[in-house]
Structure 1
């Protein structure tokens, strides 16, 4: 048997379970405390917490070999078919069991911390005496739903909302939807959808993990994006009137918050491919790169239109809005339609890839 993880303050573990969920399982740990050689422990899962039950390198785990290479450590050993964990009933490894594989950090007391999302489970009970390849339980549905909602939000609706606020303020001048300027109605609708998808996706992943987990940069950035989205919506609801002295301050704060959330969300999407539960193909990164390139190119074309046709781009937040539609309005409408079409195509392709993925 072999276990591997990143070295320095990390562990790799395999749980021996009757199902695909953590709880009341025997566990074999391979840990690497910084400055020392990797060691093996037997342990036990009590609910969502784990604890060592044996001393270092139990005698039953024979032929032990440990080594470090390329930033990782590995424990290799021979395990008898009877896994005897002190204080617990022996497990007969000749019987089929689900394997729960995880990695995480080690606490100050050298005890394993909760692994969060860094886990994977075998799809079927495994015969450990059979050396054939194992298959995982696949990507959980809640993770797929979470990822799909985040893709719709930050590859789809957010971009449309941002472009409408940046480049369409002097388009459809004099026309309104529900009593508001067309550009503002588009912006508000898209950003509300972005917020709703983000909040729902956040709720789904917390439900799946049953806790807030910050063990991966993707998780940290995702939580920051969630917090910014809450602040952005609260700020929009409480925004001062156009004549208020603080209106320019609100306008710039709202823009910077939206831009920060957008950029951080894209970084989080790139990092998602590193998550152990996902097995996304390499072309998924090219799809994401293509979606970002689309945003950049379309923004540059919008700016070129503004420059070439002499659009003054008066900002209603800090100045008096124009009562006349700016030159190049038809081009902006066509460009928006092209952007929506290709943005939707990228979202569909990425969500489909995620839905069909297996870990």
Structure 2
């Protein structure tokens, strides 16, 4: 009986001991016997974590024991040591799916290069059934004389990544498979401590995934910003303004890019002055916002992809093809850097940068991950031509003209005032009003002729000054690089200016009334002027599309629709005028059936037969009707001009 009780007691003790051992084996060691960097924050064991890094001082002097695990199937998982949290210039240890542990070094945002396997021992790798790789190794803190072997006696950031491989070559990790610590760690510390705590005990070190963060500083930016050598055109391509500005912090905007060593990625950095909710870099086939692939860097530190179908707010896209994101805000200037794949066939809105594209820059306010319409024209910039991102480094200087936007507005306003305003009124005055305006003369010429001439001369000065202004502003001909709309606008507009200049020259050398060539002049004068006016209207349509394509509607009515309404309006008015002429014209009251035969050097009264009293009464009645039509026509033209000019002036102001 006693033996039985002793046996039961021993069995109970053994059970309690085994239970204690089991509970201890499941106890979270983070903050007790090792440092940890993991996610979720309290995950344990490592197999239950998205990622897990544990380290502790090794029994070997001057060494650290590491344990690394990342969930999900991959060809490799990697632990990197970095001085600034970026992939560029990092010492990497990669655990491969074939159970090897190898060393690499990343000199830039390119595929890391293989290094000599020194300073590592006690390597062990296991692959779980779900593909999760777990590895452990011992690393010496430092190796004197070994290139690219970082000295962990100094604090370093941790970087984690996973991806696919081919033999010993490890490929670019995906954008959602990279993590880095918020702080640098002291790996030679022997006692785990809670970050920011003085108690000397640790639950765990900070282990949330590091999203791209915003660093707000007031000191001078580091890295290449402090270099006195301009890399543009040497080691990277640049788009910037003012021309040749450097460093980037001194530019209104700056975009730099270079092709990776494996020729399938581009490293970008761009800077926009001004403190906003976001800055964005877009790739477009025609320098317009519609149909553009956009990467936005938010002031919250996030980097997001968007696609603009039209002038509406861009739609957020899958975060693919972009890695090594970093956002900084320094003295109100936002700087963003990232690596982008040249192409990704699986995503239709991911533009293939192996082909030439325009660059668009913009900034504005953000709401969470959503970006709102960029602010005024001064906050949107575009390259003058499409760019070859795979070419040798080039430097594309931007405009140094701070008044460029105002000059473009002046160009559009003067063209509209000249062609849509004065020419529209001048043509109708000569064609339909010479018989009905007051029969008075000014300096020996009929009143209608003086009014017609005044409109045309004012129009010529208006559109000619606008024509010269745009050539000076754009520094020459725009060519085909700005897109079809701009090219057609320039061609047709130039034809209109040419015809508009030829017509007054023809008028100076017009034959005298009654001579055989006078009818030929009248027809040509009317045809050249009318054709120039039509070309100007078509060019205005293109101009409106170009200018307003960068934003949504300026007011409740779209300017392009206003131009359509104006065209319909003048067609209707011309038809009504012609019908009215047919119903009132009498052979005995008119000696000139061609519109501009009355453009003479003799007084109006000497060119007309005096009508009868009855005819005079009919003329007075017809004149009243036509004057009302003329008044309505002038109102319609004036309202159109006012709308277009005012919206040009207030747009982006």
Equivalent residue, structure 2, for 1:233: 504
Distance 1:269 1:336 in 2: 23
Equivalent residue, structure 2, for 1:294: 569
Which portions of structure 1, spanning 4 or more consecutive aligned residues, are displaced by more than 6 angstroms?
110-113
**Selected match of 1:284 from 536, 554, 559:** 559
Equivalent residue, structure 1, for 2:456: 191
Where does 1:6-17 land on structure 2 (aligned, <5 Å)? 17=240
Distance 2:469 2:537 in 1: 19
Equivalent residue, structure 2, for 1:157: 422
Equivalent residue, structure 2, for 1:346: 640
Secondary structure of 2:545 counterpart? coil
Shift of 1:295: 1.6
Shift of 1:273: 3.0
Where does 1:145-184 land on structure 2 (aligned, <5 Å)? 145-172=410-437, 174-184=439-449
Aligned residues: 292
Distance 1:344 1:317 in 2: 24
Contact 2:413 2:645 in 1 (8 A): yes
Shift of 1:276: 5.9
**Structure 1's 322 and 153: CA in aligned 2 closer, same or farther, altered over 3 A?**
same
Distance 1:232 1:23 in 2: 45
Equivalent residue, structure 2, for 1:222: 493
Shift of 1:161: 0.5
**Selected match of 1:275 from 522, 530, 546:** 546
Distance 2:266 2:416 in 1: 49
Shift of 1:231: 1.1
CA RMSD of aligned residues (A): 4.2
Hey, which of these two has a bigger chunk of strand by percent? 2
Hey, which of these two has a bigger chunk of helix by percent? 1
**Structure 1's 176 and 111: CA in aligned 2 closer, same or farther, altered over 3 A?**
farther
**Structure 1's 120 and 78: CA in aligned 2 closer, same or farther, altered over 3 A?**
closer
Larger Rg belongs to: 2
Where does 1:44-59 land on structure 2 (aligned, <5 Å)? 57=264
Are residues 1:260 and 2:531 paired? yes
**TM-score (ref. length: structure 1):** 0.66
Where does 1:1-359 land on structure 2 (aligned, <5 Å)? 17=240, 19=241, 21-23=242-244, 27=255, 42=258, 57=264, 60=267, 78=322, 96=333, 122=362, 135=374, 138=377, 140-172=405-437, 174-215=439-480, 216=486, 217-275=488-546, 278-279=550-551, 281=553, 283-312=558-587, 314=592, 315=594, 321-324=607-610, 327=619, 328-358=622-652
Contact 1:155 1:347 in 2 (8 A): yes
Shift of 1:74: 5.8
Secondary structure of 2:546 counterpart? coil
Contact 1:148 1:354 in 2 (8 A): yes
Shift of 1:134: 7.4
Gapped regions of structure 1 (runs ≥ 5): 2-13, 29-40, 44-52, 83-91, 100-109
